[in-house]
Structure 1
Amino acid sequence: MDVNRVKQILSSPSDIEVRYNGTSVWIDNINEDGRTATVHLRGPLEERSEVEIEELKEI
């Protein structure tokens, strides 16, 4: 995925499914470096991770 698509997903009112390593995640924000984003797993766990934007996949 590219950073522009991540920005579109963040501003969208729709529920757009995004996966990281096959796991469904919510994108919280784009980090200042513009190459990584903070995400957390969908579901009860709120554990956040910093991941490379290019490794995110839109479903």
Structure 2
Amino acid sequence: MDLNRIKQILSSSADIEVKYNGVSVWIDKVNEDGKTATVHLRGPNQFEERSNAEISQLIEE
């Protein structure tokens, strides 16, 4: 995925599914480096663990 699409997803009110390493995630924000984003898992434990993901490794479903 590219940076512009990440920004579109963040500003959208739609529920857009994004996967990181085959797992469904929510994108929290784009990091200052412009190459990574902070994400967390979708689901019941969604706010427990946040990760930094390479934007290029995020896949829109």
Same fold (TM over 0.5): yes
Residue ranges of structure 2 left out of the alignment (5+ in a row): none
Question: Partner of 1:23 in structure 2?
Answer: 23
Q: C-alpha offsets along residues 1-57 of structure 1, whole Å, 9 cap, x if unaligned?
A: 000000000000000000001000000000000000000000122200001000000
- Indicate the RMSD between aligned Cα atoms, in angstroms: 0.5
Equivalenced residue count is 59
Identity of counterpart residues, as a percentage? 71
TM-score (norm 1): 0.97
Residue ranges of structure 1 left out of the alignment (5+ in a row): none
TM-score (norm 2): 0.94
Question: Partner of 1:38 in structure 2?
Answer: 38
Runs of 4+ in structure 1 deviating by more than 2 angstroms, as ranges, are none
